[in-house]
Structure 1
Amino acid sequence: MKTYRLEFTQKLPVDLATAWDFFSSPMNLAEITPTDMTFDVTSPNMEGTKMYPGLIITYKVAPIAGIKLNWVTEITHVKDQEYFIDEQRFGPFAFWHHQHHFEKIADGVLMHDILHYAIGWGPIGGIANALIVNKRVNEIFKFRYQKVAGLFGTL
């Protein structure tokens, strides 16, 4: 099974506590996800919850063609105001490991995402990645970049 790696960075003109507070709240994920994905957090009682190791978050999401899928994520690692890692437990990918890093820099925060994912399905998965999935994942992160810049500004 082929695993793909993508990295994304963004500089924000906010302090580390502000960035961490926003991104460590599962309820804010819908705000930075393209609306055509109809992203809904389905976990009960998530309002006010912050990331912690072992946190299970359930979603309904339509990543492609409006087809709604269940997605279950576990937050596996958290170091306060430095990073957290989410891993898909059930969902559309054969493998999903997403690191969210935060670093204080002059005038703000550097966010660095490292994503590893695999589709499965052998050669068909490779074709699907080349034709659809890689492009869609990059579109999602481009949307996120623009949305976050609109919320916090840019450096």
Structure 2
Amino acid sequence: MKVHQHHSEVWLPRPVDEVFEFFSNAGNLGALTPPWVEFQILTPVPIPMRAGALIDYRLRIHGLPIRWRTEITEWEPGHRFVDEQRRGPYRMWVHEHLFEQHADGTLMRDLVRYAVPGGEFIHRLFVRRDVERIFDFRRARMLEIFGQPHPAAQLAG
């Protein structure tokens, strides 16, 4: 099984506690998901976020209805959390969310490791582009929600 990786990051001009709190509310996932995916959370909200929490979703990928279940496997408030697919379209999906406080805001990183059924052909034909488009949308929405960083903003470090 070939494991692929996707990495994205965005600088948000807000304190880490505010950004992490937004991501701690599973009800906000829809605001970060492109409309063409027709994303819907099936688990009743609010969902207590913690290690072991299970979240069920329904969405469409290329018109095909998909049910997806993820588990929060690691939960470090204010710093990071990891969700892993337990049922869904991927052979494997592990999504690590990292939050780093800097002087002028928060660096938010998404690190995803995933494997697809159908192998490299399906990955190249559909999945890689889909993952990139979804995370590009997510990044743009985060900037809309939390504000554009000041052009002079630099990572402290």
Alignment-mate amino acid for residue 31 of structure 1:
A
Aligned to 2:128: 134
Alignment-mate amino acid for residue 25 of structure 2:
S
Identical positions, percent: 36
Q: How far apart are residue 154 of structure 1 and its match? A: 2.4
Separation in 1, partners of 2:148, 2:125: 31
Aligned to 1:61: 59
Select 2:81's aligned residue among 65, 80, 84.
84
Structure 1 gap segments, 5+ residues each: none
Relative to the length of structure 2, the TM-score reads 0.92
Aligned to 1:38: 38
Tell me the matched-pair count: 149
Relative to the length of structure 1, the TM-score reads 0.93
Aligned to 1:17: 17
Structure 1 vs Structure 2 CA RMSD = 0.9
Aligned to 1:109: 106
Separation in 2, partners of 1:131, 1:103: 34
Aligned to 2:153: none
Structure 2 gap segments, 5+ residues each: 150-157
Worse overlay, 18-27 or 84-93: 18-27
Separation in 2, partners of 1:131, 1:67: 16
Task: Report SS of the residue matched to 2:22.
Answer: helix
Q: How far apart are residue 65 of structure 1 and its match? A: 1.7
CA displacement 1:84-140 (0-9 Å, x = unmatched): 00000000000000000001012100001110000033xxx2111111100000000
Task: Report SS of the residue matched to 1:89.
Answer: strand
Select 2:69's aligned residue among 65, 72, 94.
72
Separation in 2, partners of 1:39, 1:15: 28
Aligned to 2:27: 27
